[in-house]
Amino acid sequence: MLANALRKALPDDTSITVVDRDDAHHYQPGYLFVPFGAYTPERVVRSRRAQLADGVRFLQQGVSRVDPQRHVVLLDGGDELAYDWLVIASGTTPQPAQTPGLLDDKVWRTSAFDFYTLDGAAALHDALANFEGGRLLVHITDMPIKCPVAPLEFAFLADDYFRKRRIRHKVDITYVTPLDGAFTKPVASAALGALLEDRSIRVAADFAISHVDPDTQTIVAYDGRALPFDLLVTVPLNMGAQFVIDSGLGDDLGFVPVDKHTLRSPAYERIFAIGDATNVPTSKAGAVAHFEIDHLVENLQAAMAGRPLPSKYDGHANCFVESGRGKALLLDFNYDTEPLTGLFPVPVVGPMKLLGESRLNHLGKLAFEKIYWNLLLPGRPLPVPTLMSMAGKVPAETKG
């Protein structure tokens, strides 16, 4: 998406190379629907090369390290690739090995599954189909995670799924979070708190996982709490790419520290980062990467021309939240503003309801798949501003 935008913005004699270890571009929002059989695994994968504009070179190679002093990328095969400017867009990777006991054969892909990988989501599909009742834990290891609402959506969709199979009464669903609740912001908590109760989904909050006990099939927290499960759906610790860590470019989780407004590395002026790969304090979500692109393109152009970086990203993010039963919510927020109520994308007219449940939002979420492949990736304009507008939105009430 960024490469396509840069190709349009930069002169023809600037060469742009995309390096990736495979040619499989995944529509990751689709992972959520795979376990429930609504999407097939094949549906979410397409060629990377095919998404790139003419004039963008695609190099299918793994990256082993970046040497920021010498301005080269070291490839897995041993070759070196020199750069004038480097944009790191290597996302996040779930790391189940970071939770002791989780990869034990008695647990992993037997009674414990993730859905943040396509093979995990596909394996979970079979596990759900064979599940006839018991304790289901939907668990987040630690923040930050990619698409932070996905586990909540999973819990809502699981409720729906078991209801349709007429075994909901035999399934005990608990949402397990390291945060102090399923909804951590007061305005969302007030607007949405009842959704979990309505669906008889329990919440175990402040759960800082220490390990998984494969023998008792429980997850154990540092404070001694142990929650038994028949099926554990976990979001493993999310970390940045290994080459980022090995290059010394990452923080403790392997995310690239960048200025949160300009997206440039404070340590290396020829390195920028975008999307989930950065440490910026907003959601790790596709919408963020999308909104960041315009700013990064402008800043990179300025950097190339030796000018001060003009463009300031404000942390704008939005997302649809599937709440099951054919409905969804829409959230819109940035670094400084909590999720707002109101209508989107056109003030007052809508048609989408912010922070409210509606059938139209659900259809919006489904329609997004086509928008993603046909408008977003090729870099066609989308009628949504990258900086957040307060028009027509109702700020959360502040007391006092």
Partner 1 sequence: MPTNTIDNRTFTVNAEGFFTNRDEWSEELAAILAELIGIDEMTEEHWAPLRFMREDSAKTGVTPTLRRMQAVGGFDVKHLFALYPGKPAKKMAYLAGLPKPVGCV
Residues that bind partner 1 (CB under 8 A): 142-143, 148-149, 152, 177-180, 183-186, 188, 192, 206, 208, 210, 222-223, 237, 251-253, 257, 260, 279, 281, 283, 285, 317, 319, 321, 331, 333, 339, 398-400
Q: Which two tokens stand for residue 93?
A: 């990777």
Compare residues 177 and 358 and give the one whose CB is closer to partner 1: 177
Q: Could you tell me where the DSSP H helices lie in 86-241?
A: 118-129, 150-164, 186-198
Q: How far is the CB of 398 from partner 1 (least distance, A)?
A: 6
Compare residues 12 and 223 and give the one whose CB is closer to partner 1: 223
Q: Could you tell me where the DSSP H helices lie in 44-144?
A: 118-129
Is the separation of the CB atoms in 293 and 274 below 8 Å? yes
Q: In Å, how far are 44, 64, 231, 323, 326 from 39, measured between CA atoms?
A: 8, 33, 21, 17, 15
User: What whole-number distance in Å separates Cα of residue 302 and Cα of residue 147?
Assistant: 31
Compare residues 16 and 149 and give the one whose CB is closer to partner 1: 149
Q: How far is the CB of 187 from partner 1 (least distance, A)?
A: 9
**Cα angle value 76/274/252 (rounded, 5°):** 70
Compare residues 128 and 321 and give the one whose CB is closer to partner 1: 321
Q: How far is the CB of 79 from partner 1 (least distance, A)?
A: 33
Compare residues 4 and 177 and give the one whose CB is closer to partner 1: 177
Compare residues 88 and 340 and give the one whose CB is closer to partner 1: 340
DSSP code of residue 53: P
Q: How far is the CB of 253 from partner 1 (least distance, A)?
A: 8
User: What whole-number distance in Å separates Cα of residue 136 and Cα of residue 157?
Assistant: 13
Q: How far is the CB of 145 from partner 1 (least distance, A)?
A: 8
Q: How far is the CB of 333 from partner 1 (least distance, A)?
A: 7
Compare residues 62 and 178 and give the one whose CB is closer to partner 1: 178
Compare residues 39 and 320 and give the one whose CB is closer to partner 1: 320
Q: How far is the CB of 329 from partner 1 (least distance, A)?
A: 9
* Nearest residue to 184 via CA among 390, 339, 330: 339
User: What whole-number distance in Å separates Cα of residue 113 and Cα of residue 230?
Assistant: 11
Q: How far is the CB of 283 from partner 1 (least distance, A)?
A: 5
Per-position DSSP letters for 307-368, written without gaps between them: PPP-------EEEEEEEETTEEEEEEE-SS----EEEEEETTTEEEEETS-BHHHHHHHHHH
Residue 144, preceding peptide bond in cis (omega within 30° of 0) = yes
Element (H, E) at 73: strand 72-75
**Cα angle value 337/190/288 (rounded, 5°):** 35
Q: How far is the CB of 311 from partner 1 (least distance, A)?
A: 18
Compare residues 231 and 321 and give the one whose CB is closer to partner 1: 321
